[in-house]
Every structure is written in structure tokens, then in C-alpha cells.
Amino acid sequence: MENEIGHNIPDSLLKETGHRPFTGEEIVDTEVHWTGPTVHIGHKHGSKLCASIHDAIVATGLRDGMTISFHHHFREGDHVFGLVMREIMAMGIQDLTLAPSSLTNVMNDVVIDAVRAGTVTRITSSGMRGTLGEFVSHGGMREPVIFRSHGGRARAIEEGDIRIDVAFLGVPSSDEMGNANGTHGKAVFGSLGYALMDARYANQVVLLTDDLVEYPNTPASINETEVDYVVTVPSVGDPDKIGTGATRFTKDPKELKIARMVNAVITGSEQFHDGFSFQTGSGGAALAVNRYLAQSMRDAGITASFALGGITTPTVQLLNEGLVHRILDVQDFDKGSASSMAAEEGQQEIDASWYADPHNRGAVVTNLDVAVLSALEIDTSFNVNVMTGSNGVIRGAIGGHQDAATARLTIISAPLVRGRIATVTSAVDTLVTPGSSVDVLVTEVGVAVNPARPELRERLTGVAGLPLTDIATLRDRALSIVGIPAPIQHGERTVALVEYRDGTLLDVIHDVA
């Protein structure tokens, strides 16, 4: 069958993987069954401390064919993943499914080694970049990788599509029974949002920490009811590489222009009302949007009920100023926001299910008014690709893109071209977020409203500083600058599947020669 953008998804593949094809972003009114973990009881009195990672792995009984997981809250500063995976490889365990919340560059070499050694034969992740993306795109794995959004992963864990046998979770602070948080210790990252799913649903949970504190450790995001073993390691992560240090405000005139226009779209829309909510994300342009939006809120005397998503210090400042009443925090991108979660009552840690799971009894994205998101590529049907680069190679992550895009007003903010690569194209290489989720594209040369939102276009017509155009015009303008690229040469082999947040199959990624 063909999906929304005419990408061919073979019926045989659907049959093999058990996927239903994507039919639309609406979540149907139905019932689902959640799975629970198998809990090992009776021998956990006293300390759960293990002398080494090796001993902990032995204690869990990890064996061939099981599923293991990690979180990526340490991002490029992660030390835990390598320590655990190298030990598992040394023990000769084979045929594991690797199911982390995402994979960062610092993990790439270990993953590639583990695949080559047969230790890992299946991967599901939010995304991957660099050498690992190249490895998979060039056919390095026999089984296709499955990419899921953060909300989609939470759903998959709850519904049993991902059954984690052992979760290895690095934490900056824990006691010997497993009461742990991400806000205290040497390598703090703030919210444990993605890891909370693993802690709750894995059959066995091993915590690794470099800061063992007196029992009982509070605040406890992960608590002892969920933890089987605790191991101390010399260092869980490099604090300087976990997030950016001081958040810098961009001086790039192009980014500032885009940010001003994004803000004009928000303030010109009906979503800009007292008590509205937003997710603006990280990155230079997003922080600039935050600043412009804050000024518009002061000028209009409007405050927001909540800010969502990956949190940065400027958002915490809005909370302190009273412009934002609550922060719902699934992940923190810098030290300031990571540390403040411990002190700020209004900065609430949320797990990935609460954030964005489409199949629970209420996720925050359902109540999100405004989302500002990026794109590697957006096509004339407003479909977005944040997964494969201009050469077709995997180099991205779904993250919360599909999830946040269900907001009432979803704005894609992107430069028209990056270097010689056009952002606006005729058809995206990989469909990650369907165009039906996207309302507006803002580039530095013009703003295109999805034709399916005529009332929004009407409303934005005449807003000062908003050059409205249509998306085909933007595509033509981009191509007139960079020239028409040679088509991407994909092979026949399926190297990865892209799920929609509800578990249906959106697209397949083929190998690159």
C-alpha cells in the first residue's frame, strides 16, 4: 500500500512486523490493555548494592534474546551506556534487543561494536546520528530499526510492544535501596521523564550512580518499589557535556527574523489568549521565540498556564516572572533548568506517558495550544522529515516531534535553505510528522499556512511583518537558489521503520549505497 505521501510500504512487510498502516492522526475511542512487569520479590531486604556492574548483570539473570533499555538524559555526557554494554559484551550474551529512549553520538561506537559482535540484533529508539546512522543506513543490521516518538515509546511500553527485561538506568543521586533523582549529585540532568517509564515497566531495574547517599533519598523520582539492584560507578556522566552551559541568545539575523515571524504567527492566532500553553523547544531560534513571546505577553497582559517539553533556563525565568504558571518538564536542556526543578514547585517533572502517550487517560500534549518545531525537510503537503538527511542517511530523531505537533497551532520554523540543502521540497525523503498535523511554515523569506486551515490564513492576513505566501512558492524559491539536486539513491533493503505515535506504520527507510 502507499502511505499519505505515496511512499510504498509493502504489504508483506506489514504482515511480517504486525503493523497496521498509518491512516490518520486521530486517536480512536477504544480500549487497550496495558502490561505490567514481572516483579522479583523476597530477596531485597537490606541493601540492593552490587559490588560491580558484572555482579548486577549476573544477579538479573540477563541472557540471550532479552530486551535491555537505557535512558539518554545524560546526552553526549553519558558514561553509563558504555560501561554496561562493554560488560554485557564481555560476558558473551547474544541476540539482545536494545530499547533505549534514544541514542546519542557518545554511544555510537559501542552500539556498532555490539551489533558486529552479535550482542545486539534489534534496536528501537527515538533516533540515531553520526556513525551509527551511517552504519544502519548502509545495511549494518539485519533487522530493521524501529523509530518511535517519545510518546510512542511510552505507549509501546505500556501496551507491551516493548517488553523490557532489564533496564540499566544511570542516576546522579540514589540511596542503596534505589530512591533516586536527577536533580542532586555531580552530574545532574533534571527531569528523569523518559527513564520513569523504564523504572515502572521493566521486569528488573538496575540503577547506576556515582553519588550514593543516606537512605531515604528525597526527592525520589524513581523509588525503591521499582528497583532491584544498585551499583556505584566512578562517574555516571560528564556534567559539561550533558547540556549547554549558559544559554546563549542568538545573534544570527536570519534566526532572529524567523523568530520574530514565529512570534507574530502565535500572537496573531486565536491561540494567544490568557491561560494559553506552549512548547518552543531548544536551539537558538527557539530561545529567541521565547524572548519575543515573553515581551508580547507582557505587552498584552497575558499569562500562560503552562510551558511544556524540553526545558531551558529562559523558560524557568518566565516561571519566576509569573508569565508562565507551570512548567511540565520531561527533559532539561541546561544546568539552570536541571537544578531549578528541585527548588521550583511550579516546575513539575512528568514522565513520557504523561507528556505525550496517545493511549493513556490523558497526556499533556492533548491540551497544548502552541508548538514550535523544526524540520530537516518539509514538503509541499507540509509533511515533515526530521530523520534522514539530504543524502538519505539516518541522522536525526523523532523526539517529541509527532507528539507536540498535535497542538492546536503547530508551527514549523526553518530556514529556507541550509548551506546548499533546500528545506522545502516536493516530497520528504522520510515521513515523520504528517502534514495534517502542521498548520504553518515560517521561513526567513515567507510564511505558508496549510491550505487545510483557511481560517488561520484569513486571520494572519494583514498581520504586520508576516509575508504570507504558499508553500510551493517557497519550494520554488529554495530550488532557484540551490539548484535541483540529483535524486537520493536508496536501495531495496528496509533498514528502519518509522512508527506514528499510535503504533501504526508511517514510513520505511531504505538503505543507501
Partner 1 sequence: MKIEHSVLVGTLESSDVQITLSNGDGGVEVTLQSDVAAEYGDQITAVVRDVLAEYGIADAAVQVVDKGALDCTIRARMIAAVQRAIDAPHDPKWEVIAHD
If the CB atoms of residues 302 and 488 are measured against partner 1, the closer one turns out to be 488
Chosen residue from 482, 490, 491, 504 binding partner 1 by CB under 8 A: 482
As a whole number of angstroms, the distance between CA 136 and CA 292 comes to 40
Q: How many CA atoms lie within 13 A of 39 on its CB side?
A: 12
If the CB atoms of residues 343 and 486 are measured against partner 1, the closer one turns out to be 486
User: According to the binding rule CB under 8 A, does residue 273 interact with partner 1?
Assistant: no
> HEC string of 365-381?
HHHCCEEEECCCEEECC
As a whole number of angstroms, the distance between CA 277 and CA 296 comes to 14
Which span (48-56, 246-254, 360-368, 413-421) binds partner 1, by CB under 8 A? 413-421
Which span (106-114, 130-138, 270-278, 484-492) binds partner 1, by CB under 8 A? 484-492
Compute how many residues bind partner 1; rule: CB under 8 A.
Answer: 12
Cα-based torsion angle of the residue sequence 247, 372, 25, 478 in order, rounded to the nearest 10 degrees: -110
As a whole number of angstroms, the distance between CA 169 and CA 13 comes to 33
If the CB atoms of residues 38 and 489 are measured against partner 1, the closer one turns out to be 489
User: According to the binding rule CB under 8 A, does residue 117 interact with partner 1?
Assistant: no
Interaction pattern, residues 393-412, with partner 1; x per rule: CB under 8 A:
--------------------
Least CB distance to partner 1 at residue 443 (A)? 17
Residues 6+ apart with CB under 8 A from 131: 105, 108, 109, 112
If the CB atoms of residues 467 and 485 are measured against partner 1, the closer one turns out to be 485
CA distance between the termini of the chain: 25
The rounded radius of gyration (Å) of the Cα atoms in the chain is: 22
Which span (26-34, 266-274, 431-439, 485-493) binds partner 1, by CB under 8 A? 485-493
User: According to the binding rule CB under 8 A, does residue 488 interact with partner 1?
Assistant: yes
If the CB atoms of residues 421 and 463 are measured against partner 1, the closer one turns out to be 421
| 3-class secondary-structure state, position 289 | helix
Least CB distance to partner 1 at residue 390 (A)? 6
Question: Per CB under 8 A, which of residues 422..481 are in contact with partner 1?
Answer: 481
User: According to the binding rule CB under 8 A, does residue 486 interact with partner 1?
Assistant: yes
Residues 6+ apart with CB under 8 A from 501: 148, 149, 151, 152, 155, 356, 358, 402, 403
User: According to the binding rule CB under 8 A, does residue 298 interact with partner 1?
Assistant: no
> HEC string of 252-274?
CHHHHHHHHHHHHHHHHCCCCCC
User: According to the binding rule CB under 8 A, does residue 391 interact with partner 1?
Assistant: yes
Residues 6+ apart with CB under 8 A from 124: 97, 98, 99, 145, 146, 147, 148, 153, 156, 162
The helix (run of H) or strand (run of E) holding residue 206 is strand 204-209
Least CB distance to partner 1 at residue 477 (A)? 13
If the CB atoms of residues 117 and 488 are measured against partner 1, the closer one turns out to be 488
User: According to the binding rule CB under 8 A, does residue 489 interact with partner 1?
Assistant: yes
Chosen residue from 117, 213, 421, 479 binding partner 1 by CB under 8 A: 421
User: According to the binding rule CB under 8 A, does residue 233 interact with partner 1?
Assistant: no
User: According to the binding rule CB under 8 A, does residue 388 interact with partner 1?
Assistant: no
What residues does 452 pair with on adjacent strands?
none
Task: Scan for cell 523523532, then name that residue.
Answer: 398
Binding stretches for partner 1 (CB under 8 A): 390-391, 419-421, 481-483, 485-486, 488-489
